[in-house]
Amino acid sequence: MATGDTVFAGSIPALYDRFMGPMLFRPYAADLARRLSDLSSGRVLETAAGTGIVTEALIATLPPAVEIVATDLNQAMVDYASTKPGMSRATLRQADALSLPFDTASFDAVVCQFGVMFFPDRVAGYREAKRVLKPNGRFLFSAWGNLAHNPFAAILTDTLAVRFPNDPPRFFERTPHGYHDVDRIRADVAAAGFNHVTIDTVTLPSRSASARDAATAMCQGTPLRGEIEARAPGGLQAATDAVAEALAARYGSGAIEAPMQAHVVTARV
């Protein structure tokens, strides 16, 4: 993983939440929260919470007796999430998922949506989740499938490879979609000490109000932005335009829709 892959700062949090949220993250957030809907009390920890998209789904799904703690490595993401309506129900704080500032056996569930791909040591991150879980607690996380099953990201990657043939930006291929092998995921979770692992491959529709919004989301609302700007100072908008044109050529000039695929993992000790 490149160093910049974990940097979500500047205008990225707002763009991420406005465009990436409805296009990619909210559908899976609802699915993840539903998997915890049997909880009537206790504590839930969310790691890599980003701008609080899953946090919002947990607040909407879980009863008030369930305490929700949401954390993210990036203070800018935590700061943005804390400004959203209704977020006062949750406790938000900056924390590293690989070194959690919480007591052992203090949570009934740990949730991480599309964050484990960014962990520099996934097994260590899974061990930390296991450490803070109470006996019989659940660790739920999701990871994107490969580019072949996520057409928006595939078109983006192919378009930028043509635009920058000598040094294609590979953020989406390398990180968000770089941890898609279910056998590898299962082995990593087992190596962290979880004995019972279930992996569901879930396909949902990805929708955007326009090809322009989708291109803006991916090019400007993620760390890919830094890769583009490093290759073409002042060329971010031109790259965004190229991706928007490619998406519109495939899906049309109005609202666009394509399938997206992710693996949802449930692990217990």
Distance of CA 157 to CAs 86, 142, 193, 219, 240, Å? 36, 21, 36, 10, 12
pTM of the model: 0.92
Residue at token pair 């009934």: 108
Domains present along the chain, CATH in parentheses: 3-268 (3.40.50.150)
Per-residue confidence in pLDDT tens, the chain, 269 aa? 554 544 455 667 778 788 888 899 999 999 999 999 999 999 999 999 999 999 999 999 999 999 999 999 999 899 999 999 999 999 999 999 999 999 999 999 999 999 999 999 999 999 999 999 999 999 999 999 999 999 999 999 999 999 999 999 999 999 999 999 999 999 999 999 999 999 999 999 999 999 999 999 999 988 899 999 999 999 999 999 999 999 999 999 899 999 999 999 999 98
Residue at token pair 């991480």: 112
Cα distance between residue 215 and residue 20, in whole Å: 10
Cα distance between residue 114 and residue 18, in whole Å: 17
Dihedral of CA 235/151/179/261: which sign?
positive
